[in-house]
Amino acid sequence: MIELKLEHIERLQKMLGDTPKQIPIVTARAINRSAEAARTQAAKSARQTYIIKHKDIISTIRIKKATPNSLFADIRSRGFVIKLINFKVNPGRPQPNRKRPITASVKRGSEKTIKNGFVAQMRSGHINVFTRVSKRRFPIKGHYGPSVPQMLGNKSVEQAVEERAEVILDKRLDHEINRLFGGS
């Protein structure tokens, strides 16, 4: 959680002394920029651990922006488990009569073999990795990886996001104050 500390507020009051009405506006802008940076950092950090596309992470993250009346931004990720085919799978497309086993990597550096697995395209058009539940042809079971919220819940990802957001918040507060007084 990124918090606006007392030292931030005191610094703002000291620098903006004559114009206290500007404090919430300047603070809201800085918080919003910090939230955007946190979202970007979340995607970068998750991709260092997991093999997933940037757009698949960013598309699940929503930001409720800060306003001068409510000085907090809410960053949330919502999503379902992701089909295993969206990670690193060999082969990546259906190959009938394939004799070699299917290999899949969800995390970087950890490849697993899926015994009796196969890649298939369903009538609906979706492609995934499947295994048979019994010796019979049907039913089959699809394989899935973690959801984006689970990936973002990883301790190393959370820590990197919080650190980045704190740094950006400090920089943006300085920038917004300079901007208010006619600086760059």
The pLDDT value given to residue 4: 58
Q: Are residues 133 and 157 in the same domain?
A: no
Q: What is the pLDDT of residues 68-99, one digit of tens each?
A: 998 889 999 999 999 999 999 999 899 888 88
Range of the domain at 66: 6-80+148-180
Cα atoms in the 13 Å half-sphere on the side-chain side of 83: 13
Confidence category of residue 164, pLDDT binned at 50, 70, 90: very high
Cis geometry, peptide bond prior to residue 101 (ω within 30 degrees of 0): no
The reply to whether 35 and 114 lie within a common domain is no
Question: Are 76 and 156 in the same domain?
Answer: yes
Question: Percentage of residues in the chain with pLDDT exceeding 90?
Answer: 71
pLDDT at residue number 148 = 96
**pLDDT at position 16:** 62
Give me the chain's average pLDDT, please: 89
Same domain, residue pair 67 and 53: yes
- Examine the domain organization and report whether 75 and 102 are in the same domain: no
The pLDDT value recorded for residue 179 is: 85
The answer to whether residues 68 and 125 belong to one domain is: no
Whether residues 60 and 111 fall in one domain = no
In this prediction, residue 22 carries a pLDDT of 78
- Distance separating alpha carbons of residues 31 and 71, to the nearest angstrom: 8
Based on C-alpha coordinates, what's the Rg of the chain? 23
Query: DSSP string spanning 49-109?
Result: HB---HHHHHTTEEEE---SSS---EEEE---EEEGGGSEEESSS--TT--SPEEEESBTT
Same-domain pairing of 20 and 67: yes
Shared-domain flag, residues 161 and 172: yes
Whole-prediction pTM value?
0.81
Q: Tally the domains of the chain.
A: 2
Share of the chain above pLDDT 70, in %: 88
In a domain, 1, yes or no: no
Residue 3 pLDDT grade (very low, low, confident, very high; cuts 50, 70, 90): low
**Same-domain pairing of 89 and 119:** yes
Q: Identify the CA nearest to 87 among candidates 71, 75, 104.
A: 104
What pLDDT score was predicted for residue 12?
Answer: 64
pLDDT at 155 over 70: yes
Give the model confidence (pLDDT) of 103-127 as tens digits.
999 999 999 999 999 999 999 999 9
| Rounded mean pLDDT, 163-169 | 93
Between the alpha carbon of residue 89 and those of residues 57, 84, 144, 145, 159, the distances in Å are 18, 7, 12, 11, 29
In this structure, what DSSP letter does residue 181 have?
Answer: T
75, 99: one domain: no
Q: Is the pLDDT of residue 166 over 60?
A: yes
Q: Let me know whether 53 and 39 are in one domain.
A: yes
Strand partners, 81: 147
